[in-house]
């Protein structure tokens, strides 16, 4: 236990409450103070009065009883701002609260602050015209990633113990990798997206940015399970946290393939070395069987973007193109591309690509149970962007073309979204003092095995719960 309990993980904080070492009010006050003095720009709204009132009556016997939490600004909390990080909706307020946040409240969470995101969740860098630039607590000149960048910065920066995230193309795993946190992208539908759940683009899953495997397991204990408002949500699964540490036998002998670049991305050599070393160590520690499988995942950044831009076009409606001047350059670029390229032919091509990718991943999982890869092609880039077009000395714009250079930033994470597979980012080490993430992808409904692998990594090679200079 640290001398500042809110800088530990959420499970330990609840334990501290139950032992009488601190109180929810004290922890919430500490978080409010940390947010107020922070230079990370990770929080866009603080509901201090309501949070302190909730903390004063928190039931610490509940799973998250009294834990102050951040909520990504793409998740709705009734009465809070709901801009989706865009000036287009600068004055909009949420009229409902998401099912995930409601379940967290019922489990005792203190819903404290709204964390920043990239505009409409469209870019893996959290820098918008709405809120400015969010910084990485490991190096404030660097990005915490996106779209859940504010949540990652707030958790790694010591502002809140845990925060919500969403992953439509890597938006939990990318920030987790950049900030030294643990991030699980679950099987599609594991946590319901209601109320008012949309069916497209069939890539987004909900979850959290956390400091520990146990925190994430507890989160899914609380939040998973079918909800009638989301017809694609999955039945409830029990025992996420209680099962931790009990599945070593289930892992022994399972097949693992290490493909740092998934046969598609350009990965910086220094990052590849850290990821390879961490993957080999985890394969050995878990008793997995290393197999050689040729992996070549087709790059689908354009197809992924087009499928997501359909949803964005519906969100903007007849406000576009009149609202073009309010959009960040990346979102405007995407909308312009979609306006010129998206038609029924493109829609068919997108679905053809998705089917082909599913077949590719199915062939891989015929020969392996886990795929180990890098989470990100390199360490965190500049906080305000732009997305890098050079990785490890390779000029992506020259070798792949500009659009594919941008796609390289999510090439390692998007396959799990397009196929619905679960995947985790586990802290693997540092390069030049910046975190590197190890990604593990598995078959649908295999989250419990991914959590077990992550627990082994956490025990054998513990990672810092917060950045060295936190709270920032």
Q: Tokens for 390?
A: 């050079």
- Read out DSSP for 352-391? HHHHHHHHHHHHHHHH-SEEEEESSSSS--BTT-PPPSEE
How confident is the prediction for the chain on average, in pLDDT?
A: 93
Q: Do the beta carbons of residue 132 and residue 39 sit within 8 Å?
A: no
Give the SS3 label for residue 217: helix
Domain spanning 250-417: CATH 3.90.1300.10: yes
What does the radius of gyration of the chain's CA atoms come to, in whole angstroms?
Answer: 20
Cis peptide before 80 (omega within 30 of 0): no
Q: Dihedral sign for Cα 178, 181, 182, 186, please.
A: negative
Q: What pLDDT, in 10s, does the model give residues 314-358?
A: 788 889 889 989 988 888 877 877 676 666 556 666 778 888 999
Alpha-carbon dihedral 332, 71, 46, 312, rounded to 10 degrees: 20
171 in active site: yes
The Cα–Cα gap between 40 and 361 comes to 38
> Looking at residue 232, what is its pLDDT?
95
pLDDT at 74 over 60: yes
Among 38, 83, 147, 210, the one annotated catalytic: 147
Q: Tokens for 352?
A: 């053809």
Among 118, 151, 171, 212, the one annotated catalytic: 171
Which pTM value belongs to this model?
0.95
Q: Do the beta carbons of residue 207 and residue 166 sit within 8 Å?
A: yes
pLDDT at 398 over 80: no
- Mean pLDDT for the stretch of residues 23-44: 98
> Looking at residue 354, what is its pLDDT?
84
Q: Do the beta carbons of residue 140 and residue 383 sit within 8 Å?
A: yes
Distances (CA, A) of 213 to 159, 188, 450: 19, 20, 10
Among 12, 38, 72, 151, the one annotated catalytic: 72
Q: Tokens for 453?
A: 């692998």
CATH number, span 5-245: 3.90.1300.10
Q: What pLDDT, in 10s, does the model give residues 98-132?
A: 999 999 999 999 999 999 999 999 889 999 999 99
Which residue bears the tokens 């504010």? 150
The Cα–Cα gap between 86 and 63 comes to 34
pLDDT at 1 over 50: no
Q: Do the beta carbons of residue 54 and residue 29 sit within 8 Å?
A: no
Q: Which residues of the chain form CATH 3.90.1300.10?
A: 5-245, 250-417
Phi/psi of residue 46, nearest 5 degrees: -125, 125
Distances (CA, A) of 242 to 66, 286, 451: 21, 19, 12
């Amino acid at each position: 236990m640290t001398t500042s309990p809110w800088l530990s993980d959420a499970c330990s904080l609840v334990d501290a409450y139950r032992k009488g070492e601190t109180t929810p009010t004290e922890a919430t006050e500490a978080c409010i103070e940390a947010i107020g003095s922070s230079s990370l720009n990770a929080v866009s709204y603080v509901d201090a009065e309501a949070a302190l009132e909730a903390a004063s009556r928190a039931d610490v016997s509940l799973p998250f009883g009294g834990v102050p939490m951040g909520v990504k600004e793409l998740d709705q909390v009734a009465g809070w701002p709901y801009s989706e990080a865009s000036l287009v909706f600068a004055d909009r307020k949420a009229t409902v609260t998401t099912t995930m946040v409601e379940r967290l409240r019922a489990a005792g969470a203190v819903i404290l602050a709204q964390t920043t995101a990239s505009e409409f969740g469209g870019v893996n860098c959290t820098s918008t015209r709405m809120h400015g630039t969010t910084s990485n607590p490991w190096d404030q000149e660097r990005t915490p990633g996106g779209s859940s960048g504010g949540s990652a910065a707030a958790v790694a920066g010591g502002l809140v113990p845990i925060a919500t995230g969403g992953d439509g193309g890597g938006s939990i795993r990318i920030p987790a990798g950049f900030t030294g946190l643990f991030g699980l992208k679950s099987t599609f539908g594991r946590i319901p997206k209601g109320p008012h759940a949309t069916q497209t683009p069939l890539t987004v899953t909900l979850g959290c940015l956390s400091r520990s495997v146990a925190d994430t397991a507890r989160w899914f204990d609380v939040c998973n399970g079918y909800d009638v408002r989301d017809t694609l949500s999955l039945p409830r699964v029990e025992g996420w946290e209680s099962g931790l540490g009990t599945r070593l036998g289930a892992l022994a002998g399972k097949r693992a393939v290490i493909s740092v670049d998934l046969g598609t991305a350009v990965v910086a050599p220094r990052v590849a070395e850290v990821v390879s070393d961490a993957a080999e160590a985890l394969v050995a520690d878990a008793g997995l069987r290393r197999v050689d499988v040729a992996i070549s995942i087709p790059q689908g950044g354009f197809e992924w973007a087009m499928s997501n831009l359909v949803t964005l076009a519906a969100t903007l409606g007849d406000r576009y193109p009149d609202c073009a001047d309010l959009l960040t350059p990346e979102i405007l670029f995407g909308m312009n591309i979609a306006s010129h390229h998206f038609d029924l032919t493109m829609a068919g091509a997108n679905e053809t690509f998705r089917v082909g990718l599913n077949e590719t991943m199915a062939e891989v999982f015929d020969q392996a149970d886990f795929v180990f890869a890098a989470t990100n092609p390199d360490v965190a880039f500049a906080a305000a962007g732009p997305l890098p077009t050079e990785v490890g000395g390779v000029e992506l714009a020259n070798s792949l073309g500009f659009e594919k250079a941008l796609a390289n930033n999510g090439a390692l994470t998007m396959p799990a979204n397009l196929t619905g597979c679960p995947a985790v980012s586990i802290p693997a080490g540092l390069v030049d003092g910046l975190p590197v993430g190890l990604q593990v992808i598995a078959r649908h409904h295999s989250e419990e095995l991914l959590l077990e692998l992550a627990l082994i990594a956490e025990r054998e090679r513990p990672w810092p719960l917060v950045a060295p200079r936190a709270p920032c």
